[in-house]
Amino acid sequence: MVKPAECMDEYFATSTSDGFSDSHCSEEYQSTDEKKGGMERKDNKVLMTLILLFSPFLVFSGDGQEKLEEYRCFFRKTFLNGNIGEWHVSISEMENLKTRDLDWDVEILKARYGLTGELLSEGKKGEARKLIASTEVMLEQSVKTHPDEPVFYCIGAGLIGFKIGLTPYKAPFYGPVNARKIEKAYSLDPDEPLVWLEKGNSDFYRPKAFGGSKERALGYFRKSVSLFGAEPGCDWIKHLAEAMVFNCLIELGRKEEAIKFRENLVKETGGMKWLGQKSNRVEIQYN
């Protein structure tokens, strides 16, 4: 992509080397037609510069939401099929195409959040650390631009959770930070599904000796699912919350209920067959 500043320099450089500078063409010897043609060429160059400067806004104001929805549906489809590893390319494409639009920032950060969890589940700790670091940089910028967006604080809490998983001995330090971010998100919008997902994650992964509760986490995950309603569109986060409901049921020893829950999900979504398999956090044996 050509940078607007470079375009400006190129056009200005051209305007002083094709007959418009004083050293090449004095107004004293220009004919009226020549002057008119020169002015038209200058006007065209200014117009082209403005188009290059503002074309991203023109593109995204027209079909930006449609393009964004395509990415969201891609994320949902690949999540249901257990192919989150394919998100790398799409995230990169989105970051190269987008303007500083809130909707795009939200979806990119959610995708980065999901991909980080996938990397950790695959044992790719080095890649996960790098992705966490770059996501934190983007998240900090997004929070500065949109300080009242609850999803950003939820993702921040999720990143802290990943850090605790990577360095458990830092849990006493990271734990309170995680809790503050979740409470901040809750204060901004108590009906944000990601708030309840992160509240559930906090209880699910925290040891019982330190206040964790699988039973309480189950209620939070179910609350998250319910907040999406019957028609969540292409938001893959609902299915992540459903996967965590399944994990909770398994951890609580409610295997039959978990299997029935999984069967219903597979029937409703046409995917999520990976639940309970080796690629998922909890492995179960089917009769």
Instruction: Give the number of other CB atoms < 10 A from CB of residue 7.
Output: 16
Amino acid 65: pLDDT: 86
Which amino acid appears at position 76 of this protein? R
Secondary structure E strands in the chain: none
- Quick one: tokens of 28? 């004293």
pLDDT tens digits, residue range 45-79?
A: 444 444 334 444 434 444 788 899 999 999 999 99
Rounded alpha-carbon distances, angstroms, from residue 193 to 78, 91, 151, 211, 246: 21, 22, 9, 22, 17
For residue 221, pLDDT beyond 60: yes
Amino acid 171: pLDDT: 94
Query: Measured between alpha carbons, how far is 151 from 194 in angstroms, rounded to an integer?
Result: 7
Instruction: Indicate the SS3 state at residue 229.
Output: coil
pLDDT tens digits, residue range 23-46?
A: 333 343 344 454 445 555 555 544
Rounded alpha-carbon distances, angstroms, from residue 265 to 26, 95, 183, 198, 245: 77, 32, 30, 21, 11
Enumerate long-range contacts of 138-147, CB under 8 Å, 24 or more apart: 138/105, 138/108, 138/109, 138/112, 139/109, 142/105, 142/109, 145/100, 145/102, 145/105, 146/102, 146/105
- Quick one: tokens of 184? 């901040």
| 233 confidence band (pLDDT: 50, 70, 90) | confident
User: Of 15-19, 38-42, 158-162, where does the model show the most confidence?
Assistant: 158-162
Judge contact between 195 and 185, C-beta under 8 A: yes
Query: Measured in whole angstroms, how far is the alpha carbon of residue 56 from the centre of its chain?
Result: 20
Which amino acid appears at position 159 of this protein? L
Rounded alpha-carbon distances, angstroms, from residue 5 to 52, 96, 98: 10, 17, 18
**pTM of the shown model:** 0.76
For residue 269, pLDDT beyond 50: yes
Q: Domains for the chain: give ranges and CATH numbers.
A: 67-269 (1.25.40.10)
Q: Rounded to the nearest 5°, which phi and psi values hold at 4?
A: -55, -40
For residue 5, pLDDT beyond 60: no
- Quick one: tokens of 250? 């398994």
- Quick one: tokens of 130? 């790098």
Query: Measured between alpha carbons, how far is 213 from 202 in angstroms, rounded to an integer?
Result: 9
For residue 170, pLDDT beyond 70: yes
Among residues 193, 257, 184, the alpha carbon closest in space to that of 223 is found at: 193
Average pLDDT taken over every residue of the chain: 81
pLDDT tens digits, residue range 76-111?
A: 999 999 999 999 999 999 999 856 689 999 999 999
Amino acid 4: pLDDT: 40
Instruction: Indicate the SS3 state at residue 112.
Output: helix
Query: Measured between alpha carbons, how far is 48 from 113 in angstroms, rounded to an integer?
Result: 39
